[in-house]
Amino acid sequence: MTRSTETETESLPRHTARSVEDLRRRGLLSEAEAVAAARVGERYAVAVTPEMAALVGEGGYDDPVGRQFLPHPAELESRPEEMADPIGDDPFTPVKGITHRYPDRVLLKPVHVCPVYCRFCFRREKVGPGGEALTAAELEAALDYVRRHPGVWEVILSGGDPMVLSPRRLRDIVGALDAIPHVASVRLHTRVPVVDPGRVSAALVAALRAARETAVWVVLHVNHPREMTPEARSACARLVDGGIPMLSQSVLLAGVNDDADTLAELFRTLVGQRIKPYYLHHPDLARGTSHFRVTLEAGRALLSRLRGRVSGLCQPTYVLDLPGGHGKVPVGPPYAEPDQETGSWTIQDPWGSRHIYPPTPDSAQDPEDSR
Ligand SMILES: *Cc1c(COP(=O)(O)O)cnc(C)c1O
Ligand code: SF4
């Protein structure tokens, strides 16, 4: 490996930092921090793009962006409830690269690499330069699985980050899915427009537009309003202007976005960029991530504070992906509670006061009964 040149250290580095040593050389970790984090870099993948490095600046671990990407010694502390496969993907893997948990949709994971590695990643044991991409034959077998399962209505490209693929390869995959009559929707879950916005080229947008029959959606992973830099906004605008609808997903992370002001600003920023907040994920029980964990009570309290305060467009669904592969469920505040005796309901308004909603007459049918 050649050392970084003088010009690189003076101006914004053009390359992704890929090791603890790289991060130290660029001043993102101090000497002492780099020593303490050395073993983290041996256990988990590390990558910080120049764009994200510029955002972190001098802030280090105290910066809400730095905290997401800079390896920290706390990652070596595993708690008993933490797991290598926190959301139970493994038992739902019928062929390499496919996760089929819900009847109508599958995850298709063509790559295992990402442009950055998030320190809280739920797939941290699987992603990284060690994990190889699907070979052409494996990808074909995965596509064949989708072809053979007419119940699969939607394919979610995940990974790794599918937007690291070249526009040509993305076009091939989108084209192959478009040709499957029962696939009506394709979603890409990605962090690229934020962390490596230059990748969202005209050729990439054209590749996603190649589908004729199938709707193609992009779901952006973004956790803090500062991540929406002018470059990230332009990248998202290129997609939306190109006719690709965008949603966002965020992870609720201690010390990053676990306060109502930050979340309100994040969701308003996204809606202002024509991106609809879709999910706010309760953090998964991935190994070495307990320093990011928030309690469900705190998460619910944050969500109720947002409800009275910001536009309905700015309200994602707060979800938990159940450990063991039992799926995602909303875990947001319970606004409505039934009173078994009277049949009435107690319902909380957006500002926290409770109101009685009257019982429904017996003549009304339970919708389940009428099927
Ligand atoms: C998260 C996930 C999905 C997508 O779930 P939605 O609720 O439709 O967004 C699909 N399959 C698997 C295996 C998942 O983990
Ligand atoms: S971009 Fe997604 S898959 Fe990649 S490290 Fe971050 S959370 Fe994990």
Q: What is the mean pLDDT of residues 95-118?
A: 97
Q: What is the mean pLDDT of residues 151-175?
A: 97
pLDDT band at residue 7 using 50, 70 and 90 as cut-offs:
very low
With a cut of 80, say whether residue 6 has pLDDT above it: no
What residues are annotated to the active site? 101-102, 105, 114, 118, 121, 123, 284, 321, 328
Please give the number of the atom of ligand 1 that sits closest to the Cα of 219: 9
Please give the number of the atom of ligand 2 that sits closest to the Cα of 159: 3
Q: What single letter denotes the amino acid at residue 285?
A: L
Q: What is the pTM of this model?
A: 0.94
With a cut of 50, say whether residue 138 has pLDDT above it: yes
What pLDDT shows up at residue 368? 65
Nearest CA to ligand 1 atom 7: 328
What pLDDT shows up at residue 369? 57
Tens digits of per-residue pLDDT, 324-346? Answer: 899 999 999 999 999 999 999 99
Grouping H, G, I as helix, E, B as strand and the rest as coil, residue 227 is: helix
Cis before residue 325, ω within 30 degrees of 0? no
What pLDDT shows up at residue 159? 86
What pLDDT shows up at residue 263? 98
CB–CB of 278/266 below 8 Å? Answer: no
What pLDDT shows up at residue 364? 59
Q: Higher confidence at residue 129 or residue 277?
A: 277
Mutate to test the pocket of ligand 1, among 89, 95, 100, 102 (most ligand atoms within 8 A of CB): 102
What pLDDT shows up at residue 8? 40
With a cut of 70, say whether residue 123 has pLDDT above it: yes
**d(CA 327, ligand 1 centre) in Å:** 7
- C-alpha 171/C-alpha 173 separation (Å) is 6
Tens digits of per-residue pLDDT, 164-176? Answer: 999 999 999 999 9
**d(CA 121, ligand 2 centre) in Å:** 5
Tens digits of per-residue pLDDT, 51-80? Answer: 999 999 889 999 999 999 999 999 999 999
Q: What is the mean pLDDT of residues 114-138?
A: 92
Please give the number of the atom of ligand 1 that sits closest to the Cα of 100: 13
With a cut of 50, say whether residue 49 has pLDDT above it: yes
**d(CA 168, ligand 1 centre) in Å:** 26
**d(CA 12, ligand 1 centre) in Å:** 37
Positions of CATH 3.20.20.70 in the chain: 90-330
b/e per residue, 168-185, with b = 16+ CB within 10 A?
ebbbbbbebbbebeebeb
Residue 142 beta carbon below 6 angstroms from any ligand 2 atom: no
Residues contacting ligand 1 via CB (< 6 Å): 87, 99, 101-102, 105, 107, 156, 328
Ligand number nearest CA of 278 is: 1
Please give the number of the atom of ligand 2 that sits closest to the Cα of 45: 5
Tens digits of per-residue pLDDT, 306-326? Answer: 998 999 999 999 999 999 899
- By the 10 Å C-beta count (0-12 exposed, 13-18 middle, 19+ buried), 309 is classed as middle
Architecture of domain 90-330: Alpha-Beta Barrel (3.20)
CB–CB of 277/316 below 8 Å? Answer: yes
